[in-house]
Structure 1
């Protein structure tokens, strides 16, 4: 399989400006290519505009060649035709620019793909492109992993920067939830055996390229529904304009076919029709630039409507491992003495918890392991084992009269048993300290120097900084958060209160997670969750938005409808914000499109009927009051409306691609802002724009 060479930051190229020549030039060409009616057929609104452009062009050509005199001068038909064509081109350009950013990302990935040679575990070699599911390959340090798969033997440090853009290596090992590897990433240390899981041409990288190019993007249900609405409006206005011909003939207003076509284009929602596809593509692109691969367009849209978030406690709300937070000495022992003993006893403890004890002693008390005698000759480190449940160190005395110190740190009952075996006495205070830490939801570790008890180290889950603020933001969005953990209820309740989540599911099993999601969905709520293990797969598949970690198991990645390439569980919050921004952008520009049609009515309708019932020559007629913008002539009014209708599309392209700024406020506040900014703005801007264009058309050209 073709894979991508390691290149930190490779996927950042998609952030290029849409005005850069590399994106703009191909988009201009593509906007002309998309004039093909077979392509426009997918967008009924713009198809109507293109048909109108064909009709007005035909009328102009007939006038220019003398086949027809027409009801209005040839320049009028030519001007309307040109701007109708530009309206379609501008709509195509919006879509092409959105696609262009994705293609820039895809080209960057494709340019770095190389066909590697895989070493099979049973001997021999095979090109990566010829690997099949079930093949086992050996990858040593410095070599590129030839295809997507699962580590079945060994443990190694892997550079995934070519995919995630992050330079920090990650650990991949057999038999756990961190066993999935991606083709194109590079092994930095050790040796692993990988079982290939990808089908030919179906690697993770291939899916990324297809996604960012837009080839795999399907229109979401909401987008389809809005498209049907726009098509229905276009059909209604087409019938209205077609039946208007007998009325204008009866009124004797002398309205031409070109004017009726201009009226039709002004009536239908061309602005949102032109930008709708670009908004959807840009939403997907924003997720990709956040290193999230959406395997379903519906999932992107659903993320904007999520009501409930299920978040795993460990690694999401809290740090991945419990950390030492306090030293609790017994009577007669100073806190510094306990900290020094616990630090030395933890030097041989390679677990994250053991390292956190050393960090707390160093940062909280300024202790240095080397200065405390850890480098002394004859020191024997006692590593932590599952059998002893303790770690420690034996420090020989500095003189013949100083005995060896046997420092131990570990589970309370294990240390108590050792102290008893050595003939020591366990004070009641130790038991009170052990029970107190446990009741607070923490993990107590006892520390002893030989037969003498020193005190307790308090380990606990530490909530990540800023989590309460994040959950406050989600609550402001109207989203309920539920923490999911396998901890007991006491521990879970304490963490939930500290983090600020709305609810908690303690002692969670795969079955309980699944039932919780189904219960929420039966209540009409949309549920999102994140996970990385095989036990998360059922819940990920059931959730409306299931975000699997790229570092997780193959089962989790296949069950979810999104994959987070950074394997950052808190990314779920960003995904929700991107989804809401997509929906808000679509709603805002739809509001603007419908609102700015009002000004076009006041431009074109007076031009058609203002003089229809004039009682004498030169009289403006009773409907002249409709000309609230005081436009120069019927011809300049129609041309001004059509010109504004065209140029507003490229002016709104940056908003469609960037998205409307989203703030976590309630639905009522969002609706109010939408109406004030885009509704009122869409109502006022065309009056100003059409009037300014009319001043140019009527004043300068004398039309």
Structure 2
């Protein structure tokens, strides 16, 4: 199994027993803060120290390298100068020993850790390569055997390996930088408001459920809560991906880690510590990154095989060159080069880096992955089944059509209807008033408002009577409507009411469950991805047909009872292909579980929706194609990295063994280390390129 972090953990002699160390390094930075712990003081600091350790060892080893090069006979011969004095060989031996033991210590200690686990990996290859070169060179320097010293090759090899690991680890840590930023969103302290209204600064860990805390303008919200006083707008971009400031008034939820705008507000604490939204997001990300994927297992098996192949080819190279009559020094150099260049760094990092990057991207955009394997299967989806109410629609009555029956225009009609309904609590009334508010109409006050049981409402405005009544009232009153439009709207399953002024029909207003404006784009994006959208609803067939036609959905199921949703999903699956179910995560739980991918949409701060594989914070259906697109892009990056890592080794190992001997080019251990480090850095950079694709909603 390929193992990168061994070289870092080896200082303490520790190795992980469960996760591949590449994955551990890429994910441990995402550990959630413990209650009361300052965000950003967690697991990430240890890995930063590891990066510092490699940087320090690199610079010290690099400083010792020039005198070793200058005093090496081969370098002197190559540049045509002679620098010899009593004790020259001893100086080179001492300096090289310092570089070997100090600079090579992470690789040597990692080798010991791999032996303890009985899982030889890249530390084994590096440690054997530098140890063989060192022991052989020491034997030559002490006169124990005839041959050529490898000290200058040894120190340049170690310096290049340290540089490669240092750069590699910086790339790995960069993969989880977005999660580190999430953790650091939480402040250390909060302003507690006591029963008397007095305020004092307390540690965030001291806050309890029911406490009230003051959020000053520009301050971070310390915990989850409900706004009880004040109004403001809050920046939740780092938490949910919502780019626009979110207005907050009394009764609204505030999320810990969001940034308050220009107004002061007081919130009542509803969640602290691990129960907060931010802590749950970080825990979900950690679990998701720790989830094994089939692609990861493939990479791990390939890396393990590459280690055994490298050991076999390295020893075989030594034996073959000796059999061909080459010097022992030449054969040793070939073996060392093979072991160095075949270190499975790139293979070990190919998948974990992509996982870390994609998970942090999704978390920053409000796309929370609870099951990594299910997320990876999203790239294979053939159909997405939407629950209509609350997913494709807003789940509330709204005005969909206005049909004038006289000379009044839409604005006047809506103004009069909203005035008449302003004092009613009926969903129809609320829908009409909300539409007038949305259009920023000035609604006058009416007098003598009263309900007409079973028929509608009546009110007076400027001495004229306004009525909003049902079609049945007109029939009973003998008032015929010549226009066919109201009948067509009723046939579509919409609720139609009539506005009368002084007894004369002025207009018909149709109301229906308001279709989200984003739903059309979501459906179009899914079709562009080659995925067919399907709608599921308990509404009558006419309603379902109208909504489907409006959104461009060709396939729908109407009049489906809640307990029948799961069977409908099963029916679609049995028809062939992979199916995702999108719902609210509560009533749709059985259907979410039945689907190949369950997606809970609009979960808000409730990230622990147990029945869903992916939780979407926003009530925005455009996030559905976004998560599918991210899944496909993630898989492409994994495949690209695996192809590069395996293809590189297929070419590099024969070259290291000396297949190019007759061409005039012969790869040295130092050149091999450069190529090996470059291959790893290329894999890391390719994973980071995933950030360049749009991961949020379609614009």
Q: Distance in 1 between matches of 2:519 and 2:641?
A: 33
Deviations 1:597-618, CA, capped at 9 Å, x for gaps? 344256334x3574xxxxxxxx
Change (3 A) 1:548 1:295: same
Q: Which residue of 2 aligns with 1:656?
A: 687
Q: Say whether the 8 Å CA contact 2:281–2:607 is kept in structure 1.
A: no
Deviations 1:457-486, CA, capped at 9 Å, x for gaps? 233556555755543442343423222333
Q: Does 1:80 align with 2:157?
A: yes
**How does 1:118-197 map onto structure 2 within 5 Å?**
129=205, 161=235, 163-164=239-240, 167-169=245-247
Match of 2:289, SS state, is coil
Deviations 1:4-43, CA, capped at 9 Å, x for gaps? 99xxxx99xxxxxxxxxx9997683276698662898599
Q: Distance in 2 between matches of 1:60 and 1:427?
A: 107
Q: Does 1:93 align with 2:170?
A: yes
Instruction: Tell me the matched-pair count.
Output: 582
Q: Distance in 2 between matches of 1:547 and 1:145?
A: 28
Q: Say whether the 8 Å CA contact 1:548–1:556 is kept in structure 2.
A: no
Q: Distance in 2 between matches of 1:581 and 1:288?
A: 16
CA positional deviation for 1:441: 3.9
Q: Which residue of 1 aligns with 2:467?
A: 408
**How does 1:506-521 map onto structure 2 within 5 Å?**
506-520=558-572
Q: Distance in 2 between matches of 1:556 and 1:219?
A: 17
Q: Say whether the 8 Å CA contact 1:282–1:657 is kept in structure 2.
A: yes
Deviations 1:228-287, CA, capped at 9 Å, x for gaps? 232223323433433444333322234433422322443465423234322211111111
Q: Does 1:426 align with 2:503?
A: no
Q: Which residue of 2 aligns with 1:289?
A: 364
Q: Which residue of 1 aligns with 2:10?
A: none
Q: Which deviates further from its counterpart, 57-66 or 565-574?
A: 57-66
Q: Which residue of 2 aligns with 1:380?
A: 447
Q: Say whether the 8 Å CA contact 2:367–2:615 is kept in structure 1.
A: yes
Q: Does 1:238 align with 2:288?
A: no
Q: Say whether the 8 Å CA contact 1:406–1:450 is kept in structure 2.
A: yes
- Unpaired runs of 5+ in structure 2? 1-33, 58-105, 196-201, 423-428
- Unpaired runs of 5+ in structure 1? 12-21, 121-125, 174-178, 397-403, 611-623, 625-629, 665-703
Q: Say whether the 8 Å CA contact 1:346–1:391 is kept in structure 2.
A: no
Q: Say whether the 8 Å CA contact 1:148–1:181 is kept in structure 2.
A: yes
Q: Does 1:29 align with 2:52?
A: yes
Q: Does 1:455 align with 2:487?
A: no
Q: Say whether the 8 Å CA contact 2:213–2:268 is kept in structure 1.
A: yes
Change (3 A) 1:60 1:300: farther
Q: Which residue of 2 aligns with 1:17?
A: none
Q: Which residue of 1 aligns with 2:326?
A: 253
Q: Distance in 1 between matches of 2:124 and 2:229?
A: 61
**How does 1:431-450 map onto structure 2 within 5 Å?**
432-450=484-502
Q: Distance in 1 between matches of 2:385 and 2:250?
A: 26
Q: Distance in 2 between matches of 1:158 and 1:388?
A: 42
CA positional deviation for 1:454: 2.6
Q: Distance in 2 between matches of 1:240 and 1:87?
A: 23
Change (3 A) 1:525 1:102: same
Q: Distance in 2 between matches of 1:473 and 1:246?
A: 60
Q: Say whether the 8 Å CA contact 1:548–1:563 is kept in structure 2.
A: yes
Q: Distance in 1 between matches of 2:301 and 2:166?
A: 22
Q: Which residue of 1 aligns with 2:543?
A: 491
Q: Distance in 2 between matches of 1:37 and 1:90?
A: 18
Match of 2:498, SS state, is strand
CA positional deviation for 1:588: 1.0
CA positional deviation for 1:456: 1.1
Q: Say whether the 8 Å CA contact 2:341–2:676 is kept in structure 1.
A: yes
CA positional deviation for 1:581: 1.5
Change (3 A) 1:191 1:73: closer
CA positional deviation for 1:584: 0.9
Deviations 1:286-320, CA, capped at 9 Å, x for gaps? 11221333334334434344443233334543455
Deviations 1:193-229, CA, capped at 9 Å, x for gaps? 88x677x6443332334566x5873043222332223
CA positional deviation for 1:344: 1.1
Deviations 1:624-683, CA, capped at 9 Å, x for gaps? 3xxxxx5x44255x643432221243344332123187699xxxxxxxxxxxxxxxxxxx
Match of 1:559, SS state, is coil
Change (3 A) 1:560 1:575: same
Which of 662, 666, 674 is residue 634 of structure 1 equivalent to? 666
Q: Which residue of 1 aligns with 2:531?
A: 479
**How does 1:340-379 map onto structure 2 within 5 Å?**
340-347=412-419, 349=421, 353-355=431-433, 357-358=435-436, 369=442, 374=444, 379=446
Match of 1:634, SS state, is coil
Q: Say whether the 8 Å CA contact 1:323–1:462 is kept in structure 2.
A: yes
Deviations 1:338-383, CA, capped at 9 Å, x for gaps? 75244212135465521365379x69xxxx647xxx36xxx42748
Change (3 A) 1:146 1:467: closer
Change (3 A) 1:219 1:556: closer
TM-score, structure 2 as length reference: 0.68
Q: Does 1:580 align with 2:607?
A: no
CA positional deviation for 1:405: 1.5
Aligned-pair Cα RMSD in Å: 4.9
Q: Which residue of 1 aligns with 2:674?
A: 643
Q: Which residue of 2 aligns with 1:394?
A: 460
